[in-house]
Structure formats: structure tokens, C-alpha cells
A and B are shown apart, each in its own frame.
Chain A
Amino acid sequence: GESVGLHLPTLSVQEGDNSIINCAYSNSASDYFIWYKQESGKGPQFIIDIRSNMDKRQGQRVTVLLNKTVKHLSLQIAATQPGDSAVYFCAEKKGAYGGSQGNLIFGKGTKLSVKP
């Protein structure tokens, strides 16, 4: 289930189950979104991105869904594995279509814990 800790929400799933991590973004003008995975003591690692002209994008075992109406982003991980245990951050940015107008703004993050 999902719980909110002192700073970081945690999602616990069983190995093999699907995981869904949610993110509410803040700027309605943002047009580019990225999901990052961060393992303990390491920098963020790119997982998948999506531009605002799409509402779904699939990668290997991961799917990102974008709902611009409610400013919501989700990351779905299929057949979750112990190696998926990490903190996941969504990030938003304005300026996907040429130029570099905006900086990445990171969400609060969700800790995914996979039980064997």
C-alpha cells in the first residue's frame, strides 16, 4: 500500500506486481515531463519522458501517462522487480519545443519498495 512518511511517500509492492507512481505537477505551462529513478547515494537516472502533445508513452516495462486537465503524471512499472526499488521523481519543464526556456522542477518523490 501507499503511506506518507515524514518527507517521502512510500509505495510497497510485491515482486511481480505492477506499480503505479503518481505525481501532481504545478505549472500548467509545463510542456515536457520526465521520470527519474534515484538509488541511494546516486544521482538521478533518466527513465522515460513525455511531451505535452502526448498522453501516453511506453518504454521497456514502463509507461508514462499524462493528464493535462488535472496536471497529473503517472509512471507504471510492469512486473516490478527488486532492482526497481528506489526513489522516483517526476520533473516538469517549460520549453520542450525549441529553446531552453525553463529549468527542470522536481516533484517530491516516491520511494518504491519491492518485497520479494
Chain B
Amino acid sequence: GAVVSQHPSWVICKSGTSVKIECRSLDFQATTMFWYRQFPKQSLMLMATSNEGSKATYEQGVEKDKFLINHASLTLSTLTVTSAHPEDSSFYICSARDRVDTQYFGPGTRLTVL
């Protein structure tokens, strides 16, 4: 089946720094990618929808200037957490949707901000 990868799988950073997370669809083209955040023992919350070549659509309450999303190609979307703070520590999961509207999830990235 289709594979979505994320890099890095985990990252620890200091407060105030920026962190970039990559999401790649390895064997299909994804016109749309999604970014989710998941806190411990909670469900996945959609942060934003990323369409190739256009601006991302952010969900209510998600700061677009803090969570920068770039979807430069049909196989790559990046999420940059700018000026990260401890409350941004979470599990970030991306998914990619193929041309027949099937959504595949990545393995997630664990972000810890000290």
C-alpha cells in the first residue's frame, strides 16, 4: 500500500527555536496533505490542510504564523513550528490524500520543547 514518511521521527529543541518537520508521500502524488496534532491520551486534531502550490487552510485556533506550512511539491509538505515553547510539545502527524481520495497517515513526529 501507499507509504507516507515523516522526518524526523522525534526531535528535542530548546524553547524559542524553530523546528521543521517533513512529510513525504513515497509512492504516490498527494495534491492534499494534512497536519494533525495529538496530545497524550487524546485524539488527533486537525491543524491545517495543505494543497500543493497554494496557501494552507488552518483550522480555527491554529496560528498560521506559528505553524508554517509549505507544500512545494506533490510529494512533500513541511510544517515549521516557529519559536517553539513547551506547550507546543506534542505528537505531530501528517497524512496525504491520493487522487482517489484515500488518506494515508505518516508515523508521526514527537516534538519535545525544553
Contacts and interface: CB of A to CB of B under 8 A. Distances in A.
B54 interface: no
A44 B49 contact: no
A41 interface: yes
- Chain A contact-residue range equals 20 to 34
Contacts of A44: 44, 93, 105
**Overall SS of chain A's interface:** loop
Interface residues of B, number: 24
A24 interface: no
A100 interface: yes
A5 B42 CA distance: 11
Given A41-B108, A43-B107, A104-B103, A6 B41 contact: yes
A101 to B, nearest CB: 10
A108 B39 CA distance: 12
B29 to A, nearest CB: 14
Given A45-B105, A100-B32, A103-B49, A8 B110 contact: no
Contacts of A106: 43-45
B67 interface: no
Nearest to A36: B105
Given A43-B93, A44-B93, A103-B34, A7 B42 contact: yes
A5 B93 CA distance: 24
B93 to A, nearest CB: 5
- Please provide the 6 A-B residue pairs with the shortest distance between their CB atoms, ordered closest to farther: A7-B41, A43-B105, A8-B41, A106-B44, A106-B43, A43-B107
